[in-house]
């Protein structure tokens, strides 16, 4: 599943070492031998179950990736951020069905596990779960803790893992019933204000989740005081690894899903190898000349959204053979998100900008690998301005 997170500024406003193997060289004799054998058998069974769950997750992910998407689902919001609605668009004709369902004014849409999740963030703190294409009523709708401020969701091991920007844990729900099934404790990464600001997350080929926490100190004007990425084992519902990055975001890397792309604010793009557990800087932010606010990749290329120090927005492209960057165009819009589908398209949300209130709202569509605009006669138009897009 390709998708990219919302711009860091909007996020702020919306809140605003492997275990050693021990060899047993002795023999098991006496009454304890049977108990040891039972324990070993249970451990083997648990390991087999974990392996089966990982294999199932990989198979499900592969199946989802092999089915070409046909439809975009857009969370759209009014210019004054007072109301929101869902809209859909055909990926073939770009025909839009608008104002389908009323939603909050701080929404996100995520496609995961064959479901469409509509997240209502700050002060709403609810999740709606839909069967894609059936908007008559959600399958389930449930509330999170007060001021949880949910930011992202991924289905992993048949449970919905939900990042909460206002709390120091990740909530785990049975999304088919709306019942809380557990939490992942993130308090070790709290920057002192009660929450580590966990926001964006992706699932890699190994079936584990990679969650970016931003460490923005809300007691000191949202100053960046650290940040990082944690690896979560969905079977044990526990953190299994961690890397330091300043105020990061994480992105799917479609050409090789054993890799996760991490944007580190002020530094650039890193590739995190989930198998080796190492990260390497591949694109320096200085060479871009702006911050990166979104990323989606296909086979040979990637499209990024950028924002410079004066909050001018643009679209850039990356050649994945050498990670070289080129500017495609600057736009007269505010760009809150860049979302990719498995057809190799980047759908770029475009809203009116303070420097150009008359800018046309809608979606700019690019072919990712060729770095070419497909919307040559203006954006795909919506009644309200898009802020988040998912595909099915």
> Is the Cβ–Cβ distance between 327 and 34 less than 8 Å?
no
How much is the average pLDDT of 170-174?
98
Domain membership flag for residue 27: no
Q: What's 380's domain CATH number? A: 2.130.10.10
Range of the domain at 261: 8-14+44-391
The answer to whether residue 31 sits within a structural domain is: no
- 30 falls within a domain: no
- Whether 37 is covered by a domain: the verdict is no
Q: Which residue has the higher pLDDT, 166 or 34?
A: 166
30 Cβ contact partners less than 8 Å away, ≥ 6 residues apart: none
- 37 three-class SS: helix
Judge whether 195 lies within some domain: yes
Residue 28 lies in a domain: no
**Mean pLDDT to the nearest integer, 157-161:** 98
Token output for 99: 């104002």
Residue 51 clears pLDDT 60, i.e. is over it: no
Indicate whether 1 belongs to any domain: no
Number of domains in the chain: 1
* Mean pLDDT of the residues in the chain: 87
| Average pLDDT estimate for 351-372 | 92
Average pLDDT of 305-315? 95
pLDDT at position 67 is 87
CB 308 within 8 A of CB 291: yes
* Stated pTM of the model: 0.84
Mean pLDDT across the stretch 174-182?
97
Name the 3-class secondary structure at 305: strand
CA distance 240 to 242: 7
Reduced to 3 states (helix: H, G, I; strand: E, B; else coil), residue 188 is helix
What the block records as the tokens of 311 is: 């909050």
Q: What is the pLDDT of residue 126?
A: 98
What is the per-residue pLDDT for 353? 84
Confidence of residue 59 (pLDDT cuts 50, 70, 90): very low
What is the predicted pLDDT for the residue at 29? Answer: 32
Note whether residue 164 is domain-resident: yes
């Amino acid at each position: 599943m390709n998708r990219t997170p919302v711009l860091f500024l909007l996020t702020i406003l919306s809140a605003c070492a492997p275990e050693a193997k021990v060899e047993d060289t002795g023999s098991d004799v006496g009454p304890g031998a049977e108990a040891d054998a039972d324990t070993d058998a249970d451990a083997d069974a648990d390991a087999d179950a974990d392996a089966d769950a990982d294999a199932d997750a990989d198979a499900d992910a592969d199946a989802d990736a092999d089915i070409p998407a046909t439809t975009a689902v857009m969370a759209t919001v009014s210019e004054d951020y007072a109301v929101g609605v869902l809209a859909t668009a055909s990926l073939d004709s770009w025909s839009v069905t608008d104002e389908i369902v009323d939603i909050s004014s701080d929404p996100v849409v995520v496609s995961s596990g064959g479901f469409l999740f509509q997240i209502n963030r700050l002060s709403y703190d609810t999740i709606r779960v839909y069967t894609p294409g059936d908007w008559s009523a959600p399958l389930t709708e449930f509330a999170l803790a007060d001021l949880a401020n949910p930011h992202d969701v991924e289905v992993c091991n048949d449970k919905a893992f939900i990042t909460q920007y206002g709390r120091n844990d990740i909530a785990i729900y049975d999304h088919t019933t709306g019942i809380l099934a557990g939490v992942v404790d993130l308090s070790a990464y709290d920057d002192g204000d009660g929450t580590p600001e966990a926001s964006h997350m992706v699932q890699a080929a190994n079936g584990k989740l990679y969650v970016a926490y931003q460490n923005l100190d809300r007691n000191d004007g949202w100053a960046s005081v650290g940040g990082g990425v944690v690896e979560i084992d969905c079977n044990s519902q526990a953190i299994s690894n961690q890397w330091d990055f300043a105020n990061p975001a994480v992105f799917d890397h479609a050409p090789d899903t054993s890799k996760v792309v991490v944007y580190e604010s002020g530094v650039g793009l890193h590739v995190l190898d989930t198998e080796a557990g190492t990260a390497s800087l591949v694109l320096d932010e200085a060479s871009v000349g702006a911050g990166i606010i979104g990323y989606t990749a296909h086979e040979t290329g990637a499209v990024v959204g950028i924002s410079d120090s004066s909050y001018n927005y643009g679209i850039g492209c990356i050649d994945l053979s050498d990670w070289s960057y080129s500017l495609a165009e600057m736009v007269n819009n505010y760009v809150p998100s860049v979302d990719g589908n498995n057809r190799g398209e980047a759908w770029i949300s475009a809203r009116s900008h303070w420097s150009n209130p008359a800018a046309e709202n809608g979606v700019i569509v690019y072919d990712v690998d060729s770095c070419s605009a497909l919307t040559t006669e203006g954006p795909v138009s919506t009644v309200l301005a898009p802020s988040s897009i998912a595909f099915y």
